[in-house]
C-alpha cells in the first residue's frame, strides 16, 4: 500500500535554513516541499494560493510575523495545518502560536526524526508540541490555548493585528512612507497607529519599540 505524500510549504527568511530543512525532510519525512517563502507576506500569499497540507512557519520573519501568517492561514486556508518553528521555548511564545491557530510547535534545534514526526502528526490532524515544552506548560493549558480561551495574556495582546504588523515594520527600519506604501494606507494612518502603539505599550521612542519587538519575537535579534 502506497502512503500518500504530504505537501509542505517552508517559510523562513534564512535561505540556508530553508535549504537545510528541504534536504533534511527529503531524507526523513514522506513529504514534498511545494513552495518556499522568505518573508511573511509571501508565505501568507503562497499558503492561500497553494493550500498545502502543512506549512512549516518560522515565527520571526520580515514583512509579516509568523504569528500573523498562521492567523491568516486559519482564516484563508483552513485545510492547511501550520506547524510553528521557533528558537524560543518560553511558554508565552507557544501559547501565542496556538492561539493564532498553529497545530504544533517545534524548536529549531529539534532532531530530524522529531521534526518528521511532528509533520506526520500535524498532517494527520493531530497536535504536536516539542515534549519538553509540553511538559512544562501542561496539557490543560495547551488545550485552552488551542481553543483560544487561555487566559494567559501576552504583551502583544495590547495592540491590534494591524498595529502588530506596523510595529514589526517600524522595528525592521521601514520609514513611515514605506510602511504606508506596502500596506496601502496613508502616512497619517501609519502615524496614528504608531502613536497608539507607543501609548498602549508605554514606549516613548523607536529604539524602545525595536527592543520590544525583539523581546516578543516579532523580529530577530540579528
Listed as ranges, residues in the chain with pLDDT below 50 are 1, 149-151
Domains and CATH numbers, the chain: 6-146 (3.40.50.2300), 155-215 (1.10.10.10)
pLDDT at 102: 93
- C-alpha cell of residue 62: 520580515
Note the pLDDT tens digit of each residue in 160-180: 878 888 998 898 898 999 999
- CA-CA distance, 136 to 70, in Å (whole number)? 23
CB atoms within 10 A of CB 19: 13
Instruction: Please tell me the predicted confidence (pLDDT) of residue 99.
Output: 84
Rounded to 5°, the CA angle 147-103-55 comes to 140
pLDDT at 153: 60
Question: Residue 67, Cα to own-chain centre: how many angstroms?
Answer: 4
Q: What is the DSSP string of 34-73?
A: EEEESSHHHHHHHHHHH--SEEEEES--SSS-HHHHHHHH
Chain CA centroid to CA 198, Å: 23
pLDDT at 221: 67
Amino acid at each position: 500500500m502506497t502512503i500518500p505524500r504530504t505537501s509542505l510549504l517552508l517559510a523562513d527568511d534564512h535561505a540556508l535554513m530553508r535549504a537545510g530543512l528541504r534536504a533534511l525532510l527529503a531524507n526523513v519525512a514522506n513529504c514534498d516541499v511545494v513552495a518556499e517563502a522568505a518573508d511573511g507576506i509571501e508565505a501568507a500569499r503562497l499558503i492561500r494560493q497553494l493550500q498545502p497540507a502543512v506549512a512549516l512557519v518560522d515565527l520571526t520573519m520580515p514583512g509579516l510575523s509568523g504569528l500573523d501568517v498562521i492567523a491568516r492561514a486559519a482564516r484563508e486556508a483552513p485545510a492547511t495545518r501550520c506547524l510553528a518553528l521557533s528558537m524560543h521555548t518560553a511558554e508565552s511564545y507557544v501559547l501565542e502560536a496556538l492561539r493564532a491557530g498553529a497545530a504544533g510547535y517545534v524548536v529549531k534545534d529539534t532532531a530530524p526524526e522529531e521534526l518528521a514526526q511532528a509533520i506526520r502528526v500535524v498532517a494527520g490532524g493531530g497536535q504536536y508540541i516539542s515534549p519538553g515544552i509540553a511538559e512544562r506548560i501542561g496539557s490543560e493549558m495547551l488545550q485552552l490555548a488551542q481553543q483560544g480561551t487561555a487566559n494567559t495574556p501576552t504583551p502583544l495582546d495590547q495592540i491590534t493585528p494591524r498595529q502588530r504588523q506596523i510595529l514589526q515594520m517600524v522595528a525592521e527600519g521601514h520609514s513611515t512612507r514605506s510602511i504606508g506604501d506596502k500596506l496601502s494606507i496613508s502616512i497619517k494612518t501609519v502615524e496614528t497607529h504608531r502613536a497608539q502603539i507607543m501609548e498602549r505599550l508605554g514606549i516613548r521612542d523607536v529604539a524602545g519599540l525595536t527592543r520590544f519587538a525583539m523581546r516578543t519575537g516579532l523580529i530577530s535579534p540579528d
